[in-house]
Structure 1
Amino acid sequence: MTDWSKEGLGFVILQQHCRCSAVDAPFCCKTGWRLALCGSRHLTAAEAGYAPVEGEALAVAWCLRKARLFLLGCPNLMLVTDHRPLVKLLGDRALTDIVNPRLFRLKERTLQYRFTVRYLPGKRNYAADFLSRYPTLKASPDGHDEEQVEELAGAMAAATIAALTFNECLTLDEEVVLRASQQDPAYQLLVAKVLAGDWHPHRAQEIECLRHFYSVRDRLSVSRGLVTYTYDQGHVRLVIPDGLRRQVAANLHASHQGLDSMLRRARQTQTVVDVFQLDGCSYLAYADRLTGWLEVAQLPSGATSSKIMNQLRLYFARWGAPEQVSTDGGTNLVSEEMTGFFKRWGVTVRLSSAHYPQSNGRAEAAVKSAKRMLRGNIGTNGSLNSDKVSLALLQYLNTPLRDIDKSPAQLATGRQLRDGVPAISLNYRIDEHWGRTLRERERQMARQHSKMKDHANGCSRSNIAPGSRVLVQNQANKTWDRAGIVVEARGNRQYLVKLDGSGRLSLRTRLHLKPLAQPNPAPPPKPQEPPPEPSPNRPRRRVARPGWLDDYVE
């Protein structure tokens, strides 16, 4: 449903959830059609002078372009307009029959879509009419249509994240999905059906809860109690139980921010930097043009050059200094202090054109993505320390980029990050090229560990028994000025020591203890043995008088 006015363009995309006839669509029933996407923008100076038929055709072409991710390949697309001439013009009229060159170009832009055109009086085209009269986006539609796609996707993501409640676990893994599936009877029926493979010949013969899977039954399998679905090029996804689908769907919406123009002008070792304001607080957006990795930081109390430099040092230490940084030429980014900072780091600065920030489109896209993630989710005083901001940024980094089927996380770290969307463990495996490098790193660390172990065994210290006196090293000045008694020997060569004087217990490693040499105690004196008594049976010796005493006279 589209509409054009002198103020702007508006459109509404509705999806059918009922089985009513297409004759009465989209007003067949109150809950049969639900909102999928909507948008609006102001007219340019040239578009304000369009004739009504040209403006209405422009609204149709712009709507199809903005919602192409929803509409391309849709076999049952119905285009509703409140301008009756478009029914014939966009219906079966050939291009050769259109004389107006502007209408010719607009119809040519719609040829890649398959749709039928229906007329709806303007008095019933409420939503599109309101959006066209009160548009929101003001960028030029020709040069920056892709940035507007980012804003629309970002707005949906921000609104979805803001509506979430975070009372449960933020990250969902296989264990969480498995527990939820075990409590879901319909899911268990699906598991049994896939394992048995006894599908009925016709879809109508299946149980109602299994009919949704009938058309893809050949792509379903069971892995560790969970049903998996294999789609294009062998990619595998989990089939989510009904109880988790709302949370998973909300988490998925959080990642769709800026997919269209994220990698088009990417250059190796080139980054973009921009400072933006949101709700009176200053923030710094830093994005890598090659991988699409986005960093957001709060700059409290103003975005001064010194604060920006402090944050950039952290990014440079984490990701390396880039060769080139693109900025919008703000005074805090081109000051003498910042110029010297970039010069010291060997980084060249590319400035966008004066008063034309669109020339630094990548930075503008990064700022828009950051704003959409932060709006309504930041904490007190603009703090980024909240689960909502972290989850939205994580989903952004895990969303595959356009045309390469790789996310910023995969390009920057070699693997998907664990987030709020459950996935099979296969998706968390390291990329093959990264894996070879990591395996070589593991082997190198194993060799280093072996060398350290051999060195430790060569100069190992003896164990200390409890009760031994030791000297304790003072960690402040590395002197052995304390002494104590080992009270207990613990694991990992740790000892509990009772220090002399204070009696305080201190836990120390063997490296910081030195056993005191205790003097050997003197052996006790041996008792003196009494002299042996003479044997009574031994003959006594006779002592003879010496001869020289014979002449002695008393």
Structure 2
Amino acid sequence: MFSVPRLSLCSTKENENRETVLTCDASMKGLGAVLQQRQDDGTLKPVYFCSRTLNKSEHNYANIEREALAVTWSCSRLEDFIIGKCITIETDHKPLVQLLQTSQLTDLTPRIQRFRLRLMKYSYKIVYVPGKHIVVADYLSRQPIVGLDNSTDELAEETMAYVQEVINNIPTTDENVMNAMNAQAKDDIIKEICKKIETQWERPKTNDPLLPFFHVKDELSVCNGMLMRGSRIVVPSSLRNDMLHRIHMGHLGITKSRLRARCALWWPGMSTDIEQFIKKCPICIQHQNNPNEPLITSELPDRPWQKVCSDLFKLDNKWFLVVSDLYSRYFELCPMSTLTSSEVINKMKSIFGRHGIPEMIYTDNGAQFHSSFTSEFQKFAREYGFSHRTSSPYHHQSNGAAEAAVKIAKVILKKNEDPFLASLVYRNTTIPELGKSPAELMFGRKLRDVLPMISANLKSSDYDDNCFRRRDSCYKENYKRNYDKRHRTRPLRELCEGETVWVTDLQTEGKVVKKINVRSYEIQTNDGQYRRNRKFLNPYLVYSKKVVKPAMQSNSNNYLWLPTQNDIVQHNNTNTQQGDTNISQANPNVQVSCEPTQVNVRRSLSDPNIQVSSHCFQSPVQACFQSPVQASSPTTRSRSCESQDNSNQVRTKSGRVVKPP
């Protein structure tokens, strides 16, 4: 009696060349589907039956959403049979024919949109079939077999197999794996995590050492007694310092070391630990190149010839002295017979006799411009009543205005048979960005040259000083912005007295004696005292090597080396003095480079003016420094020349300080 229906329900072997029909249906209890193929006689024979119950959230779906879920789930469940084939999907819910086929995605509800997106990888055609003709799918949806879907168990088995395969292929030796397993077995936190994984894991309290692991609890698993995060071994606190040394064994950078570690290891805060470990690596510090700092700026002098800069240069085996005005960009050029201080002084006396004595002169740290109190040049400065400031040795950018004048002077000497006439042409040529020539800014009138000019143009004329200052400020701001962008500048932190540094050009270790000016420091080495710019100094990050152990042996924030009060370098408040005086030079024809300004100034924790509680010691950088403080105002572009107080010391050209007899 039931032989015919029984035979009609028996599944047949799947044939990829035959027409495939997928019939889906949904009810208040579950989902059902049957995959059928059309036989040679034109009848449909079942190939696969599937059904499942609805979960708690799916019970709240609207009827149309349950029907769409049935189509989406059945396609995903039978993907091995239908992927790459054009199939026909039968449903007894007529609106789905348009919603899942021709409607615009923007016209669909969010849930139907997601179903539609999941179906995009299949090639299908949806047709409407009355419910009385899809009795098999309807029955499967109304009588789903609870527990028949073993996808969760299968997923767990597949995950464990994958983890085991990863462990077997980790790029390490069995001995290292055994050491990690033994260390995990002795770590109280990891043992507690392994227990939590097997049971329900509730959110820990704020101070609970398990909290950093809770955020990745869905990725944690235990395989053969080893705690893993995905395919990576969870490193206990006792092995982290050793792992940091292994990760940084090749002395690669922070990014590459992180990528190397992420292949096999994990612990909370690993990326931060790697960064701090590399930053305090002595070998990396010695070979580190400091970035360019932002361009330093200063205000324009109040009047012409108030502040000047000077430098010596050599061209075709001849030496020349250049003295340039920082207001007008007007410079004087003098040939030198010798390179003694007396010869430099005589040339300057001749220039000052024509233009007057300036208030301030900026030079480099050459032997002719010794800044000690007893030097010949300082006696000349006291006699004529002007101040003298020098820049750091081997850092010509600090005296950038003089370097710009040297550049123009070399062009004049190389290209012209008559350098005096060429100098006159330069002084009489208008600077486009400023609207005035150096001669007009210096003398208030144009100078007569070889070009025919009416007498009215050679008379003194007033110019708007405020307008000139605005144009000068605008030009300097634009230049600074372009310079910082082009050189990708980044400020370096200020050094403190007593801080240990590596002097890159001397290839030796030293300690900061005092800060002379912004970015200029007095350094004590085994060979003596030297003055160097900040770009030549790489500070060591000194920390206490005492490991702080919490109550449960490990904590995500406590396994780092923490600084002690003796390790942190004392900050000398007397160093908070006026920074390097900035020399303004706005010649648009010359590329300007100068000693970058210190923008990010950090203060030591041991500063007596700073109150710090013990909870602030979260990481080495947070423990050592406070928030950055703005230093200088980038309102104008200029050349920098570091100020230096006169003292009873003799400084050589290399910057070494020698006590006079």
TM-score norm. by structure 1 comes to 0.28
TM-score norm. by structure 2 comes to 0.24
Choose between structure 1 and 2 for higher RCO, CA contacts under 8 A separated by at least 6 residues.
2
